[in-house]
A and B are shown apart, each in its own frame.
Chain A
Amino acid sequence: MKNLSTLTVSIALALCLTACGGGSGDDTTVTPTTPITPTTTIEEEFGSYLTDLANNHIMPGYQDFNQQSIAFNQAAQSFCSLTNATDTDLDTLKSAWLSNNHSWQNIQWLKVGPVVDMLFRIQLWPDSNSAIDRAIATHLLEPDTITAELIAAKNVGGQGLPAAESLLYPTDTSDDLLSSDIKEKRCELITAIAQNLENMSTNINNAWQVSGDNYVNTLITGTGEFSSKQDAVEELITNWLEQIEKVKDEKILIPLADEAPGLATLAEHSLSDQSLASIKINIASFQALYDAGAGHGFDNILNDFVEQQSVATSMQEKITSAQTAIDLLEGSYSDALNNEEKRLILEEVIIKLRELRDLFTAEFVQVLDLNIGFNSNDGD
C-alpha cells in the first residue's frame, strides 16, 4: 500500500482551514499594528456583491433591454405603416434593431432567472443548422397574419434578434424590406418578431422587479433555486466564465481562422457586420461583473476581506488590457478579419481573454473558495 492518508470530515475540514489560512508574517516589522478583525462574513460579502450587481448592472440592463425592445417594436410598426418607405426609413429601423441588440449584448452573459427559458428565443447563435433561415422561410409562407403569439409558439430560430437581422440585412438585396416582392409579408414578420422581443423583455423585466415576481430578492438572498449567497455567486461567475470562453472562441477565434480573410460568415452578426460592437459590449460587461457596476465588487472583497490585493490587481489588469486591446478596432468586423494588422490585434484580444480566463479559474476562485461548474466544465 502506498502512502495514502485517510481522513474524516473533521480532518478534511482542518486541512481546508489550514490551507485557507492566509497572511504571511514579517519578522522585520517593528511598528505594532492593530489586527484587522473582519466585521462581516464572506456570506455577507457575497450578499453585498449580489445586491450591487443586481441593482447596478442586471436590473438596469434588463430595463434597458426592455426599453430598447419597445423602441424597436415601435420603429418596426412605424416603418411598416409607410406606403413609400425610403432608405432613410430603413436605416432608422436598422438603428433601432442595433440599439436593441447592443442592449442585449450587455446582459447576454446572464443565464439564471427568468431569462433561462427565453435565451434561445431571444438569440439563437451559433446556428449551424440554419434554423433561422428555415424558420423565416416557413413564416413567410404563413397564409394567415403573422403575429407575435404565432411565432412565439414556433421554432426559436424565427423569434429573436438574429431573425430580425436576417430580414433587415438579407443576403440577397432583392429580399430587403424596400424592394422585396413580398415586402408586406416581410414587414408583417419583422413587426411580429419585434413585438415578440418586447413581450419577452417585458416578462423578464417584470419578473426581476420587487413589484413583480421579485426575482431580485431570490438572487441577493441566495434563496429559491440557490442554496446560499455563495451558491448564487458561483452561478453568476460560472456564467461569466462561459461568456469569456464564448467571446474568446466563438466570437473571435473561430471567425479569425488560420489566415485572412477569416470566416466572417461564422461571426455573430455576419449579415449586419456588427460583431465588433457586440464584442466590445461583452468585454465591457466583464468590468461590471467584476466591480458590481462600481459597487461592492470582487475588487473590494479581494482587497479588504480576503486581503489578496495581488489577485485583485491582476484581475483588474486583465480586464482592462482586454478592453484596451479591443478598443483599438472600430467598424467592420469582416474588414478586421481580412486585415493583417487588425488580425494581430484580434489575436492579442484572444491572448488577454485567455489570461483572464486562466487567472479566473485559478487564483481568483481559489482565494474566494468559489466553485465554478465542477462537473459541467470539466466532466468526462
Chain B
Amino acid sequence: MLNRRQFLLGTSAVLGAASLAAFFAAKKTTPAWLVSAFSNGQQQHFAGAFDLNGQLINAVRLPGRGHGVLAHPSKPGHAIVYARRPGDFLLEVDFINGVVNHHVSAETGYHFFGHGAFSHDGQHLMSVENHFAKSCGEIVIRDALNYQVIEHYDCEGIGPHECKLLPNSNTLVIANGGIKTHPNWPRKKLNLETMSPALSYLDLNNGQIIDHFRLDNHQLSIRHLDISSSGKVVAGLQYQGPKSDIVPLAISHHGQSQLSILQASDDTLRPLNQYAASVCINEANNQVAISCPRGDQVTFWDLDTDRFSHKVAIRDVAGLSINQRSLIATNGKGQSWDLSAAPNTRHAFNDIRWDNHLTTLNGM
C-alpha cells in the first residue's frame, strides 16, 4: 500500500507519455463505447455498455442503483461504477467480458455520493464520500490497483457530489452540494434551511481546500460539473427552495473572484423546473450541454459568453457524453440520441431505463 507521501509524488505528475500513447492508440483503433447505470421494469439495477449502433455490449447486475461511471484510464473497456447516494459500493467492471473485477465497499461509517475521479497518472481513485456520523464530506483516495484507502481529505462542506481534476493541475474541483443526508433516511434532505453549497478547489498536494465559492441563494445546490481544456468549470444546479422561484440552471468559474451565472430569460428557465442533471462541455463547437429531465430538454449554452443558445426536447433526458466528437444523450425511457447528427438519431433499448449519467470509454 502506498503511503501518503508516495501518493502525493504520484499525483504530482501529469499523465505520463507512455499511458498517453496507450490511451490514444486504443482510441484510434477501437470503437468507443458508452456506459451508464440503468434499471429495468422490475427495479433491478445494472451497469451497461453500448455502442453507437445501439447495441448493448454487456451489462452487469449491481447490488443497488448505480450513479456515476468513470472510464478506467489504463484499462480499455473497463470502468468504475459508483453506487447512488447513499450506496456503499463501487465496482471496477470489465465491460469487454461483462464481469466485475473488484467490488469495493465503503469504510464503516461512510457511504458514497456517486462520483469520483482518477488522478492524472491513473494510479489513484478519488471518491466523494460522506462520513455520516460527522456529517462531513470527504475525498477518499484509493490505490487504483487494489482500491485500498490511502488518504482522506476533508471537503469542508456537506454533501459533496461530483468532482473533476483541473487539466494539467493537481487541483480537484468539487461540487459541494450542501445537502445533509444520512443512510438511515436514504433520500431525505436534512438541512434545507441551513444548507450552504459551494464550488470548492482542493489541492491534492496537501489535502487543503484552496478556496470556496458560494452563491447568494443558499438553496441552489451545486451538483454536477464539467471542466474545459482551459480549466473553465461549468456546474449545474438543483434548487431546493419554493417550486415557483425562477432560479439559474448553472454557474461557471474560470479563476474569477466569484461565480458567474449562465444567462437565460425567465421564459427559458421556468420550464426547466430548477433542475440540472448532467453537464457536458463540447469543445468541438464551444458549447456546454446541460440536461434537464424535469423540463424534458437538453439545453445548450455558449461556452465563452455563458449565454443560452438553444434547446432540444427529449423526455426524461439525463445522461450526456462526448463520444468521437458527437454529443450522446440518454434518457429514462431507454433511448440514446446522437445530438450531433443531423437530424438527431435515436436508438431504443428494451426494458432499460438509463440512469442520470453517461460516460465514454474505450472498447476492444
Give chain A's interface residues, CB within 8 Å of chain B: 1-2, 4-9, 12-13, 15-16, 19-20, 116, 120, 124-129, 155-156, 225, 227, 231, 234-235, 250, 366, 369, 371, 373-376, 378-380
Closest to A378 in B: B187
A366 and B41 CA atoms in complex are apart in Å by 7
Chain A min CB distance to B85 (Å) = 6
Interface residues on B, range: 35 or more
In the A-B complex, the 8 residue pairs with the smallest Cβ-Cβ separation, listed nearest first, are A374-B332, A375-B318, A375-B293, A6-B98, A376-B293, A126-B244, A128-B242, A374-B353
Inside 8 A of B97's CB, which chain A residues have their CB?
6
Cβ contact within 8 Å between B100 and A1: yes
Chain B min CB distance to A218 (Å) = 14
Given contacts A8-B58, A225-B313, could you give 12 more A-B pairs where the C-beta distance is less than 8 Å? A2-B63, A4-B100, A8-B59, A12-B46, A120-B270, A231-B333, A235-B315, A374-B332, A374-B355, A375-B277, A375-B331, A375-B355
Question: Which residue of B44, B114, B266, B349 is within 8 Å of A380 (Cβ)?
Answer: B114
Question: Which residue of B42, B60, B223, B316 is within 8 Å of A375 (Cβ)?
Answer: B316
Question: Which residue of B294, B315, B351 is within 8 Å of A13 (Cβ)?
Answer: B351
Inside 8 A of B180's CB, which chain A residues have their CB?
none
- The answer to whether A16 and B356 touch (CB under 8 A), given A127-B244, A379-B318, is no
Most buried by B among A116, A227, A250, A375: A375
Question: Which residue of B101, B271, B352 is within 8 Å of A1 (Cβ)?
Answer: B101
Question: Which residue of A1, A5, A155, A376 is within 8 Å of B61 (Cβ)?
Answer: A5
Chain A min CB distance to B27 (Å) = 25
A369 and B244 CA atoms in complex are apart in Å by 32
Inside 8 A of A9's CB, which chain B residues have their CB?
56, 59, 349-350
Inside 8 A of B59's CB, which chain A residues have their CB?
6-9, 12
Cβ contact within 8 Å between A380 and B275: no
- The answer to whether A6 and B101 touch (CB under 8 A), given A369-B41, A380-B85, is no
B170 contacts chain A at the CB level, 8 A cutoff? no
Closest to A226 in B: B315
B37-62 interface code vs A (CB 8 A; 1 in, 0 out):
00111111010000000001011111
- The answer to whether A380 and B41 touch (CB under 8 A), given A4-B103, A126-B244, A373-B293, is no
Cβ contact within 8 Å between B335 and A1: no
B107 contacts chain A at the CB level, 8 A cutoff? no
Cβ contact within 8 Å between A227 and B355: no
A235 and B161 CA atoms in complex are apart in Å by 29
Chain A min CB distance to B327 (Å) = 17
B111 contacts chain A at the CB level, 8 A cutoff? no
Chain A min CB distance to B102 (Å) = 7
Cβ contact within 8 Å between A379 and B100: no
Inside 8 A of B67's CB, which chain A residues have their CB?
380
Question: Which residue of B102, B243, B333, B356 is within 8 Å of A234 (Cβ)?
Answer: B333
Inside 8 A of B58's CB, which chain A residues have their CB?
6, 8
Closest to B62 in A: A4
Inside 8 A of B62's CB, which chain A residues have their CB?
4
Cβ contact within 8 Å between B316 and A19: no
19 of the cross-chain contacts (CB-CB < 8 Å) are A2-B63, A2-B100, A5-B61, A8-B58, A8-B98, A15-B44, A16-B40, A16-B42, A20-B41, A125-B244, A225-B313, A225-B315, A235-B315, A371-B41, A371-B353, A373-B316, A375-B293, A376-B293, A380-B67
Inside 8 A of A128's CB, which chain B residues have their CB?
242, 244-245
Cβ contact within 8 Å between B84 and A380: yes
Inside 8 A of A369's CB, which chain B residues have their CB?
41
Inside 8 A of B242's CB, which chain A residues have their CB?
126, 128
Inside 8 A of A125's CB, which chain B residues have their CB?
244
A19 and B44 CA atoms in complex are apart in Å by 11
B267 contacts chain A at the CB level, 8 A cutoff? yes
Chain A min CB distance to B197 (Å) = 15
B317 contacts chain A at the CB level, 8 A cutoff? yes
Cβ contact within 8 Å between A379 and B42: no
B99 contacts chain A at the CB level, 8 A cutoff? yes
Inside 8 A of A8's CB, which chain B residues have their CB?
56, 58-59, 98
Cβ contact within 8 Å between A373 and B100: no
Inside 8 A of B313's CB, which chain A residues have their CB?
225
Inside 8 A of B266's CB, which chain A residues have their CB?
155
Cβ contact within 8 Å between A1 and B316: no
Closest to A117 in B: B271
Most buried by B among A126, A129, A234, A378: A378
Closest to B39 in A: A374
Cβ contact within 8 Å between B103 and A2: yes
Chain A min CB distance to B157 (Å) = 17
- The answer to whether A376 and B46 touch (CB under 8 A), given A6-B60, A7-B98, A126-B242, is no
Most buried by A among B56, B101, B161, B313: B56
A57 and B350 CA atoms in complex are apart in Å by 31
Chain B min CB distance to A306 (Å) = 13
Cβ contact within 8 Å between B277 and A156: no
Chain B min CB distance to A142 (Å) = 20
- The answer to whether A15 and B100 touch (CB under 8 A), given A6-B61, A129-B245, A380-B356, is no
Chain B min CB distance to A270 (Å) = 14
A8 and B331 CA atoms in complex are apart in Å by 20
B145 contacts chain A at the CB level, 8 A cutoff? no
Inside 8 A of A5's CB, which chain B residues have their CB?
60-61
